[in-house]
Amino acid sequence: GAGVSQSPRYKVTKRGQDVALRCDPISGHVSLYWYRQALGQGPEFLTYFNYEAQQDKSGLPNDRFSAERPEGSISTLTIQRTEQRDSAMYRCASTSETGTGELFFGEGSRLTVL
Amino acid sequence: QKEVEQNSGPLSVPEGAIASLNCTYSDRGSQSFFWYRQYSGKSPELIMSIYSNGDKEDGRFTAQLNKASQYVSLLIRDSQPSDSATYLCAVNEDSWGKFQFGAGTQVVVTP
């Protein structure tokens, strides 16, 4: 596609359930980033990949959060045993260059944990 | 703790005036600096990038960088109501991957 595509756009789940958020970056983009954004706050870094390699996962809040990008394209962010505090907008971004390039953001996946 | 700090605002600016936004960062080794604009309910979009000390102008926008003071700013000249948005400062700390964002400054341009 022309832009970064995220799915689902909205997800409502019950506490304790697992959720998987998908990101399809712009074709050919090397780097893929996951951010979490609370209302009124800036994007909070979670993790990023260059190709299929996870370069930095220091922003993942705890071990319930994981991400993968097995073929260097589509990425999945998985949250296990969701908690209410996980409710947020999860944003994916990609860039064609490592480090200094422009981040292109998807529309985000809004997660609500009841 | 590596941080990017911005005044949260809101910054109220009369139409036609200059909006001045500030950002400080803690990691002296940071290499790349960006300003993103985010309209309410939308995703951030890049408006300016700057990599070396000094000023960089693009239309009505001017970014200023002072690495010694660890300070980056954005000026919006001839502010328009369409400039009303949240402006996010982003810093690339590692020179090769991780982008850290500030909390954003909300700008409201009043007719």
Mean pLDDT of chain A: 94
| Tens-place pLDDT, residues B79-99 | 999 999 999 999 987 656 788
State the smallest CA–CA distance between residue A74 and chain B in angstroms.
18
Residues of chain B with Cβ-Cβ distance to A41 below 8 Å are: 103-104
* Nearest-CB residue to B103 (from A31, A42, A50): A42
Nearest residue of B to residue A41 by CA position?
B103
Q: Is B59 exposed, middle or buried (0-12, 13-18, 19+ CB in 10 A)?
A: exposed
**Cβ-Cβ contacts under 8 Å, B45 against chain A:** 105
Given pLDDT bands bounded at 50, 70 and 90, which one contains residue A2? confident
Q: Which amino acid is at B110?
A: T
Whether B101 sits inside 8 A of A106 (CB atoms) is: no
Beta strands in A1-114 (DSSP E): 5-7, 10-13, 19-24, 31-37, 44-50, 53-56, 65-68, 75-79, 88-95, 104-105, 109-113
pLDDT at B98: 83
Confidence tier at A65 by pLDDT (50, 70, 90): very high
Percent of chain A's residues with pLDDT above 70: 96
Is A89 or A40 the better-scoring residue by pLDDT? A89
**pLDDT of B93:** 73
What pLDDT is recorded for position A99? Answer: 56
For residue B96, the Cα-to-chain-centroid distance in whole angstroms is 20
Whether residues A108 and B43 touch (CB distance < 8 A) is answered with yes
Q: Does residue A32 register a pLDDT over 70?
A: yes
User: Cβ B97–A103 below 8 Å, yes or no?
Assistant: no
Cross-chain residue pair B99–A55, CB shorter than 8 Å:
no
Token digits for B108? 């409201």
pLDDT at residue A101 tops 80: no
Please indicate whether, in this complex, the C-beta atoms of A42 and B88 are within 8 angstroms of each other: yes
Residue of A nearest to B43 (CA): A107
CA-based nearest residue in chain A for residue B39: A40
All residue ranges of chain B with pLDDT < 50 are none
Residue A34 has pLDDT above 90, yes or no: yes
